[in-house]
């Protein structure tokens, strides 16, 4: 099994006629064969990806005509918040936003609105989701992953790829890989995904890659202590980051004593997670945990 996306997902791409949307939509279509259309207001009735998929004026039209249940968003920052809410209003079950640079004030509004709908939102500023051999929704390089039983949750795109590489080097495949994004306000959290992987009978272990700033890793670890039965291997990026300075992601800034890498690692270990010091240790650590 997998979580969130699989071979039956019907994906539309908002912003499919733009250069980035077109490029990555082509990659997603080639990987899983399940991109069913795109959305660009004013270009409905045209086709995209060399005539492979239709273009619609709205998410509502795409849902009605091709049964879309996943939307992948490549819309410029000034319009991305509206694109997310449009997808949610149309009843799209899963919304994945790759766009970086959406203002925090707009994301406050987006998060509140999506919570009133039945949609699940991943991102923004994330690499998306990859279920090896079934579906690619985003910008993750599909060729680096292989089908297996290790779930991957990460704030960092590049560290997601490194974790997948380390797992594959040990002969371990992945059930689903999710990059949740590193902005201060995101949709789906580590805790949300831990619960999904715990419920997935074909996921045997979970890799959770966090970073300095925020309390998401702490909340997930505290829940895992009493409710997660599968091994959780954790890593926190930013171990040498000075307090008060943003490091990379907009949300990666230590504003409290318990948001440092050292504090998070200590609490995660106290909650029973297996904490690694380097991404290079992820593969062998997971393999040992599964013996």
Q: For residues 91 and 177, state if they share a domain.
A: no
Within-domain flag for 153? yes
User: Do 74 and 167 lie in a common domain?
Assistant: no
Query: Is the pLDDT assigned to residue 112 strictly greater than 60?
Result: yes
pLDDT of residue 252: 47
Asked whether residue 129 is assigned to any structural domain, the reply reads: no
Mean pLDDT of the chain: 94
Nearest CA among 75, 91, 103, 177 for reference residue 133: 177
Do 149 and 285 belong together in one domain? yes
pLDDT at 286: 98
Residue 214 region by backbone torsions, left for phi larger than 0, else alpha for psi between -120 and 50, else beta: left
Strands (E) in the chain, as ranges, are 11-14, 35-39, 47-48, 53-56, 70-73, 94-97, 120-122, 128-131, 135-138, 147-154, 174-179, 205-211, 232-237, 274-275
The region, left, alpha or beta by phi > 0 then psi within -120 to 50, assigned to residue 154 is beta
Task: Report, as an integer, the average pLDDT of 9-18.
Answer: 98
- Predicted TM-score (pTM) of the model is 0.93
Is residue 242 situated within a structural domain? Answer: yes
Per-residue model confidence (pLDDT) at position 282: 97
> Which domain CATH number covers 88?
3.40.50.720
Is 4 a member of any domain?
Answer: no
Mark out the alpha helices in 71-172 (DSSP H runs): 77-89, 104-114, 157-169
Question: Same structural domain for residues 115 and 150?
Answer: no
| Residue span of the structural domain in which 72 resides | 11-122
234 pLDDT above the threshold of 50: yes
Q: Are residues 283 and 151 part of one domain?
A: yes
* Domain total of the chain: 2
Please tell me the predicted confidence (pLDDT) of residue 198. Answer: 98
241 pLDDT exceeds 90?
A: no
Position 238 in a domain = yes
Q: Could you tell me if 158 and 211 are in contact, meaning their C-beta atoms sit under 8 angstroms apart?
A: no
Are 182 and 96 part of one and the same domain? no
Does the active-site annotation cover 249? yes
Residue 133 lies in a domain: no
The mean pLDDT of 142-170, rounded to a whole number, is: 96
Beta bridge partners of 37: 12
Residue 215 lies in a domain: yes
Do 274 and 160 sit in the same domain of this protein? yes
Query: Any idea what the CATH number is for the domain that residue 215 is in?
Result: 3.40.50.261
Mean pLDDT score, 271-288? 97
Predicted pLDDT of residue 1: 67
Is 130 inside a domain boundary? no
Residues paired with residue 47 on neighbouring β-strands, in sequence order = 54
Catalytic-role residue among 24, 165, 227, 249: 249
Q: What are phi and psi of 11, to 5 degrees?
A: -100, 135
Instruction: Over range 180-195, report the average pLDDT.
Output: 96
Query: Which region among 50-64, 72-86, 103-117, 259-273 has the lowest average model confidence (pLDDT)?
Result: 259-273
Residues 6+ apart with CB under 8 A from 62: 12, 36, 37, 38, 39, 56, 68, 90
């Amino acid at each position: 099994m997998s979580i969130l996306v699989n071979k039956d997902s019907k994906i539309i791409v908002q912003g499919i006629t733009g250069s980035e949307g077109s490029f990555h939509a082509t990659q997603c279509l080639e990987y899983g064969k399940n991109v069913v259309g795109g959305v660009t207001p004013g270009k409905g009735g045209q086709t995209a990806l060399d005539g492979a998929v239709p273009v619609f004026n709205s998410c509502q039209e795409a849902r009605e005509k091709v049964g879309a249940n996943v939307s992948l968003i490549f819309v410029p920052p000034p319009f991305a918040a509206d694109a997310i809410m449009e997808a949610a209003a149309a009843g799209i079950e899963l919304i994945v936003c790759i766009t970086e640079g959406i203002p925090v004030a707009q994301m406050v509004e987006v998060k509140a609105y999506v919570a009133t709908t039945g949609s699940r939102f991943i991102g923004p500023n994330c690499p998306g989701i990859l279920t090896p051999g079934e579906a690619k929704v985003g910008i993750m390089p599909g060729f680096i992953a292989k089908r297996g039983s290790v779930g991957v949750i990460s704030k960092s795109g590049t560290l997601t790829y490194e974790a997948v590489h380390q797992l594959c080097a040990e002969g371990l495949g992945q059930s689903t890989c999710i990059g949740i994004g590193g902005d201060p306000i995101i949709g789906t959290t580590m805790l949300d995904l831990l619960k999904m992987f715990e419920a997935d009978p074909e996921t045997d272990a979970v890799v959770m890659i966090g970073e300095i700033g925020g309390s998401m890793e702490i909340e997930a670890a505290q829940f895992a202590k009493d409710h997660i039965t599968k091994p959780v291997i954790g890593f926190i990026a930013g171990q040498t980051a000075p307090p008060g300075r943003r490091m990379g992601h907009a949300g990666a800034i230590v504003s409290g004593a318990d948001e440092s890498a050292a504090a998070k690692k200590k609490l995660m270990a106290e909650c029973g997670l297996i904490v690694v010091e380097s991404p290079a240790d992820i593969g062998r650590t997971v393999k040992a945990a599964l013996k």
